[in-house]
Structure 1
Amino acid sequence: MPNFSGREPESFDFEEIVYSKRDWVATVTINRPESYNAYTWRTLQEMTQAFRDASWDDQIAVVVLTGAGDKAFGTGGDVKEYASEYTQRPHDYWKWMGLFTDCIDILRNIGKPTIARLNGMVVGGGNEFNMACDLAIAADHVRIRQVGTEVGSVAAGGATQWLPLMVGDRRAREILWLCEWIDAPTALDWGLVNQVVPYAELDDAVATMAAKLVDKFPECMRYTKQQTNFWKDFSWHQTIGHARDWLAPH
């Protein structure tokens, strides 16, 4: 018989994330603060495992995604890994991009509300993980930035698809084309986050929001999320395969 139940977090042999469960909430923490929580192929694999486990665990009602420390939530893919592994092997980058899209897909289809706990800078693919979550609470020192056009890439792992839906067409173009920093109050005003709080109050704010979500009917929450995701799903599935094929040789 298949076992669709969750496991104890300690039973996983994770190296680049920290996974914990408490009071109906699972927390996934990217644990690479020395690299500003940039993710590698291993990070993506471990996040995917944790998200799947949280999805299957009936004792989990809410999932929180965050980064270790107070410097960075996440800064996208690890550029050292890009340079050493993928620059001369574009087909391997195509495979890596498959890991990334699988991770985003399981996060977005986890069947439970997700909260991005933004504890520091949110850059590139880090912001795409932020936008893949349902809700976001930011510390007041947080800054957000897309960098694709400045570093010779295209932010098509969620940013080009979802920013127009979240902040509007003109602001999306400004974010994607100019690659300028957005401070936390501006992110709140533009709709990139739901709340901004002092860093010392971040955990309490996340816990308060999570407790409100835990109190809802899980099946109704799951289907409401599915319906609310329609336009984000539509834009994502129409474009991500093209983006993966284009980014691999470029």
Structure 2
Amino acid sequence: MPEPDAPRAADPASFGFERIRYAKDAANGVATVTIDRPQVLNAFDFRTLRELGRAFEDASWDDAMAVVVVTGAGDRAFCTGADLDEQAEMGATSGQYWRWMGAFIEMHDRLRNIGKPTIARINGACVGGGNELQMACDLAVMVEDAYIRHVGPEHGSVPAGGATQWLPILVGDRRAREILMLCQEVPAARALEWGLVSRVVPRAALDSTVAELATSLRAKLPEALRYTKTQLNWWRDLVWSQTVTHGRDWLAIHSTSDETREAVAAFHEKRPPHYDALRRLAGAPRSCPECGATGMPAEYAYCGVCAAPLPSVFEAIP
């Protein structure tokens, strides 16, 4: 993925993207950015974030592109947020997650500041960071059999990459709390009713509806439209700028916690996390049954004082 030496648009084929597809339709003035990881429901890993950011940057520089469409490959998912396999690998140090979150923030900033209208083409499940991605777009067209969901409090995370900031603006405080705290699916019809998306259509009408909106947006004055977007983004940008770096630091620190390790392990083992054990652990620090030393890290297999074997945190606290 070559770095540009000047702010000039380039041929999409020159980027060598591996995780996304990037295409430009010169006849209609539409650039389409597709997350191309259907085997993992279009979850994004670090390279995906970097490629998305580079594509958004290039699209912003291309004056021939009037509209940018963001979508996912296949029919099952638009995007399901962070790749938990990669998240498990990053659990070793908080610094790894902090750097990953930096790429996530940079990608979002390039999308929101792209300087032209954007449309989310929601072709399937829209989960976690996927919903944050579609909320960063100006308009969203969703197939009628898709859903939106957040799962952070079930998987060891907090949706502080757009959801905690923007959902209260889009759907109101109570509905935002329901979406983020209950972690339940929001069907397409309800997403439309609540103002999470612009249109809900049958799958057969998805592309034609996106094209219709793109055609309408293209027939607008580019500078006036760009500044309209800037003004509309004011509240979102304000809350984003005040909270996202806090979220980045907290998520990085929390990524190595007992809670996150247990949540990610439960996801891979296809079982519920030990919710109640984690609550008890917060009030009863891990201790050695032999010498009574307390505050033992969860990853310790042996006591750091007397070297006695330690039970796992979940054996010690049923």
TM-score, normalization: structure 1?
0.98
Distance 1:149 1:39 in 2: 19
Q: Note the C-alpha offset of 1:3.
A: 3.7
Partner of 1:9: 12
1:52 counterpart (51, 57, 64)? 57
Q: Matches of residues 14-163 of structure 1 in structure 2 within 5 Å?
A: 14-22=17-25, 23-84=28-89, 86-163=90-167
Contact kept, 8 Å, 1:36 with 1:72, in 2: the verdict is yes
Paired residues, number: 248
Compute the RMSD of aligned alpha carbons: 0.8
Q: Note the C-alpha offset of 1:7.
A: 1.0
Q: Matches of residues 167-246 of structure 1 in structure 2 within 5 Å?
A: 167-246=171-250
Could you tell me which amino acid in structure 1 is paired with residue 97 of structure 2? Y
Distance 2:6 2:96 in 1: 33
Q: Note the C-alpha offset of 1:150.
A: 1.4
Could you tell me which amino acid in structure 1 is paired with residue 187 of structure 2? D
Contact kept, 8 Å, 1:6 with 1:56, in 2: the verdict is yes
Q: Extract unaligned runs of 5+ from structure 2.
A: 255-318
**Runs of 4+ with deviation above 6 angstroms:** none
Residue by residue, what CA displacement relative to the aligned partner does 1:140-189 show, whole Å, maximum 9, x if unpaired? Answer: 11110011111121100000000000000110000010000010000000
Could you tell me which amino acid in structure 1 is paired with residue 236 of structure 2? K
Distance 1:190 1:160 in 2: 16
TM-score, normalization: structure 2?
0.77
| Higher RCO (CA < 8 A, seq sep 6+) | 1
3-state secondary structure, aligned to 1:110: coil
Distance 1:112 1:94 in 2: 29
3-state secondary structure, aligned to 2:253: coil
Could you tell me which amino acid in structure 2 is paired with residue 14 of structure 1? F
Distance 2:213 2:115 in 1: 17
Residue by residue, what CA displacement relative to the aligned partner does 1:19-64 show, whole Å, maximum 9, x if unpaired? Answer: 0010211000000000000001000111011000000001011100
Q: Note the C-alpha offset of 1:10.
A: 1.2
